[in-house]
């Protein structure tokens, strides 16, 4: 509701919402529609990983190939980051230190939903820092370090999140693989919005 209150103080938004949603007022519902419409325009393009999967052995480095093996085995990333978009669209507590209970706000009696947030897809991941639901990790290297340590131990933490024992080389290989999921696409232009 604070967001709606803030938007209401910016006079330029009211006519923009009326033009986009004739007959509707500026509301959480129309705001959600506007954001969803914008998000559907942000799509990933073909990444080096796609070329490699289709048989071009030169599309990614040997280091990235080792990282892909780690992603699917020792690091267990593919347990949650699966499929073409590298997400199972599930909700997990990955052990970030936080007071935000995430999905637990809506499911207070379900232990595994406490501190749980939706697993993001990894396409274009090198462009999307800072990372995690709260933006608390600035680099992919920090993300890999977090998972390697296993995060905060608590009853809600996903059973898949535990110390991994990755070597420095394995961490580097994993980051090299993750970067192959980013295309050469020009970054999406951030619209200039009323303030």
Could you name the CATH architecture of 48-179? Orthogonal Bundle (1.10)
| Confidence check: pLDDT of 152 > 90 | yes
Confidence band of 187 (pLDDT split at 50, 70, 90): low
| Confidence check: pLDDT of 1 > 80 | no
Peptide bond between residue 102 and the one before it cis (omega within 30 degrees of 0): no
| Confidence check: pLDDT of 2 > 90 | no
More confident residue, 192 or 163: 163
More confident residue, 33 or 117: 117
CB half-sphere exposure, 147, CA atoms < 13 A = 26
| Cα angle, residue 64 at apex, residues 63 and 70 outer, rounded to 5° | 95
pLDDT of residue 34: 87
Separation between Cα atoms, residue 177 and residue 62, nearest integer Å: 9
**Could you tell me which residues are beta bridge partners of residue 118?**
91
| Cα angle, residue 162 at apex, residues 161 and 165 outer, rounded to 5° | 130
Per the CB < 8 A criterion, the answer to whether 138 and 124 are in contact is: no
- Kindly report, residue by residue over 46-71, the tens digit of the pLDDT: 999 999 999 999 999 999 999 999 99
The pTM assigned to this predicted structure is: 0.80
For the chain, give every domain's residue range.
2-39, 48-179
* Nearest Cα to Cα of residue 126 among 144, 107, 100: 144
The share of the chain scoring above pLDDT 70, in percent, equals 99
């Amino acid at each position: 509701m604070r967001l709606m209150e803030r938007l209401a103080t910016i006079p330029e938004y009211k006519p923009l919402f009326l033009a986009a949603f004739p007959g509707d007022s500026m509301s959480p519902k129309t705001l959600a529609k506007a954001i969803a419409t914008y998000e559907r325009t942000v799509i990933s393009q073909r990444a080096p990983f796609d070329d490699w999967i289709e048989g071009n052995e030169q599309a990614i480095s040997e280091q990235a190939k080792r990282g892909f093996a780690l992603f699917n085995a020792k690091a267990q990333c593919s347990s949650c980051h699966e499929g073409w978009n590298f997400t199972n669209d599930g909700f997990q507590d990955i052990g970030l230190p936080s007071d935000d209970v995430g999905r637990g706000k809506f499911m207070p009696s379900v232990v595994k939903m406490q501190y749980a947030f939706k697993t993001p897809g990894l396409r274009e991941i090198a462009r999307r820092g800072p990372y995690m639901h709260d933006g608390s990790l600035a680099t992919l290297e920090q993300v890999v370090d977090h998972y390697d340590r296993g995060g905060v131990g608590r009853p809600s933490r996903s059973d898949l999140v535990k110390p991994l024992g990755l070597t420095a080389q394995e961490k580097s290989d994993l980051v090299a693989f993750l970067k192959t999921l980013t295309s050469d696409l020009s970054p999406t232009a951030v619209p200039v919005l009323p303030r």
